[in-house]
Amino acid sequence: MEDNFITSAPAVTSTYFLKFPDEETSLAKLKAAGFINEDNEIITASHSHAIDVVGIISQSGEYEPDGTVIVEPTPVEGWHVNYLGELPSGWESYLVTPTSPVRVFYT
């Protein structure tokens, strides 16, 4: 008898860092690409993609050991989303290449 088990997931090799102008634009693009379900929730993962909504990020501030803020963190412009999979058409203009990403996918 032959077992029909998948021993490994399909290879998804492309990770993208995206910066949309704001949350509303990102949601509109996610919806247009079919990544928002009928309950208006983001479909964050499937066999073909993974989405990590990072949102607003900040450049590091400075803090005392007790957590007291010495220098306030500075927000980075835009609404940030990490995407793993085949990039949907029209998303190329939102691509960024951070030198030190805040969050990454580990594969």
Domain locations in the chain as residue ranges: 15-96
Separation CA 52–CA 105 (nearest Å): 8
Separation CA 67–CA 7 (nearest Å): 46
Please give the chain's pLDDT, 107 residues, in tens: 556 655 555 555 678 999 999 999 999 999 999 999 999 999 999 999 999 999 999 987 889 999 899 999 899 999 999 999 999 999 999 999 998 888 888 76
DSSP assignment, residue 9? P
**59 Rama sector, left if φ>0, alpha if ψ -120 to 50, beta otherwise:** beta
pTM summary value = 0.78
Closest C-alpha to 18, from 87, 68, 72: 87
